[in-house]
Amino acid sequence: MKYTSILFDFDGTLANTNGLVLGSWKHAFRVLRGIEQSDEFIKKTFGEPLGVSMQKFFPEVPVDEAIAIYRSHQKDIFEEMIEPFPGMTELIRELKTRGYKVALTTSRLYNSTMVGVRKFGLEDVFDVIVTADDTTKHKPDPEPALITLEKLDAKPEEALLIGDSMFDIKCAHNAGVKAVLVGWAEAVSEEDLSGPDRPEYFIEKPEDLFDII
């Protein structure tokens, strides 16, 4: 099978936002619950839209209010704290050079996504960027991937979706797309990797993708 289109997740896949996300969740739990929440508990939300997680953890708090508390922690440090995972920007640029269609498919909102994209110098590299602002349903629903494919004018069987969470993997599968899990994922268990939604491919390093495509 010849793959022509490569879809990338943002948080935890392209961008190392893990510390920032953990810190923001811990801040929210301190303010709204008065507790110190564990990293392991929080990591289970990685890849899930923020509003969905907020409703689950703080059902008695208006979602907008809870999100405002979460975002207050990272308001002035977001751009400073995020960095691309080693080799990821080089991979995306090389894919583009080789003629592949490259896209970003993320549950993050457009404005903060673009802060990262610009910082990493990729604003003129991605053919398509689909964020939470572009969808009514979010990962693991197939809508984000399907919208991306439509914008790319690509078929599901021609695409790969690269992610770090089971939300990414299930989104890919629900859209008929093969999934690639990155080796630096922090929110995937051994059970996930042997279950019915296990990813078709696994890469330890970004350049390993070339062995697949």
- Active-site positions read 9
Q: What is the largest CA-CA distance in the chain?
A: 52
The secondary structure of 101-168 as a DSSP string is EEEEE-SS-HHHHHHHHHHTT-TTT-SEEE-GGG-SS-TTSSHHHHHHHHHHT--GGGEEEEESSHHH
List the one residue out of 145, 151, 150, 152 whose CA is nearest residue 180.
145
Structure-block tokens of residue 207: 């350049």
